[in-house]
């Protein structure tokens, strides 16, 4: 199993530019999560999808952030326009609660975003 795949691994962009982060969850997992990690706030949940449907987007910081899951094997997190305070590591995670007793979430390697 390849695990959760994220791309790009690193992204450097200038303020005002659009940024798109990509995630491929583990095959068969029906829940997908986007997190942001910063030094001050640790790991924060941005949005949660179940069966490709957004269930909880209360963690999305602003309208500049949007996320989609067009199918079970792909999700994007878009920031437009990007700002320096968006600089962080963004993680995608997936799980399959109905099968896994422990509801374990499996994380991808993350995308390190730097907005100049």
Nearer to another protein, 17 or 38 (CB): 38
| Alpha-carbon distance values, 64 to 5, 17, 36, 46 (Å) | 24, 11, 15, 13
| Alpha-carbon distance values, 100 to 60, 71, 89 (Å) | 27, 21, 27
* 3-class DSSP state of 66: strand
Among 12, 15, 43, 116, binds another protein (CB under 8 A): 43
| 81 belongs to the binding site for another protein (CB under 8 A) | no
| 17 belongs to the binding site for another protein (CB under 8 A) | no
Residues that bind another protein (CB under 8 A): 4, 31, 33, 41-45, 48, 50, 55-56, 91, 93, 97, 102-110
């Amino acid at each position: 199993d390849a695990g959760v795949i994220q791309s790009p691994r690193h992204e450097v962009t200038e303020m005002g530019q659009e940024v798109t982060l990509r995630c491929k969850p583990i095959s068969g997992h029906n829940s997908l999560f986007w997190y942001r990690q910063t030094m001050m706030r640790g790991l924060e949940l941005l949005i949660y999808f179940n069966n490709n449907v957004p269930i909880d987007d209360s963690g999305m910081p602003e309208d500049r952030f949007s996320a989609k899951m067009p199918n079970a094997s792909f999700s994007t997190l878009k920031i437009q326009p990007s700002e320096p305070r968006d600089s962080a590591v963004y993680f995608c995670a997936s799980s399959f609660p109905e099968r896994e007793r422990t509801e374990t979430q499996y994380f991808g390697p993350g995308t390190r975003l730097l907005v100049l």
